[in-house]
Amino acid sequence: MQAIEAIQSFNPTTVKTAWEKMKSIKTSYGTGYMGGLKTYGVNHLVVRPCLISAFVKGEVKLIKWYSPEFP
């Protein structure tokens, strides 16, 4: 949706091109980035921050937010 909003077009080729050129993307978990070019051959993977938590003495504890890498 953010690619469509940025270029104001529904043309699939235009949207694909805009999607591939996006450096960052807003997610419900915070700002993510586009990745996957080296890993999968296309820059279409939305990489978002992931919550790492643990049970400590019966309570859920936030350990940290982690952003994985998919070059």
Q: Which of 54, 65, 23 is nearest to 3 (CA)?
A: 23
What are 10-53's pLDDT values in tens digits? 999 998 888 888 888 888 888 888 888 898 898 888 898 899 99
Using an 8 Å Cβ cutoff, are 65 and 51 in contact? yes
What are 8-18's pLDDT values in tens digits? 889 999 988 88
Using an 8 Å Cβ cutoff, are 46 and 39 in contact? no
pLDDT recorded at residue 21: 86
